[in-house]
Amino acid sequence: MDEVFKALADASRRSLLDRLHARNGQTLNELCEGLAMTRQAVTKHLAILEQANLVTTFKHGREKLHYLNPVPIHQIGERWIKKFERAKLVALSELKRQLEKRDE
């Protein structure tokens, strides 16, 4: 779980996930196109995404195909966001109560 959050912390990596979401199964070079980064930098980002299990790869000849694995992202929603859903419901009223308490 820690690795997933850390992987998602970087904007370049989120954009790589966006690209895979737009078209799944891209090669490393395809993912590099149009980015202001060297191929090696992208390789490192993909390795981090892979270690967080957000991306799965298959080798096909000399190419490496990258696939988005949305399951960990879904788990964030399941385990973490839902935890704060109820809090969201009462947030406004709590803040309101606090603002009144402030004038004591």
Partner DNA sequence: TTGACATGCAACCATTTAGTTGCCTATTGT
Partner DNA sequence: ACAATAGGCAACTAAATGGTTGCATGTCAA
Give the interface with DNA as residue ranges (CB under 7 A): 6, 9-10, 12, 27-29, 36-41, 43-45, 48, 61-64
Residue 38 contact among its own copies, DNA, none, beta carbon within 5 to 8 Å by kind: DNA
The per-residue b/e assignment along 36-61, b for 16 or more CB within 10 angstroms, e otherwise, is: eeeeeebeebbebbeebebbebeeee
Rule CB under 8 A: say whether 84 interacts with its own copies.
Answer: yes
The angle formed by the CA atoms of residues 57, 4 and 25, to the nearest 5 degrees, is: 25
Q: Which is nearer to its own copies, 14 or 44 (CB)?
A: 14
Q: Which is nearer to its own copies, 39 or 74 (CB)?
A: 74
Among residues 23, 38, 51, 70, the one that binds its own copies under rule CB under 8 A: 70
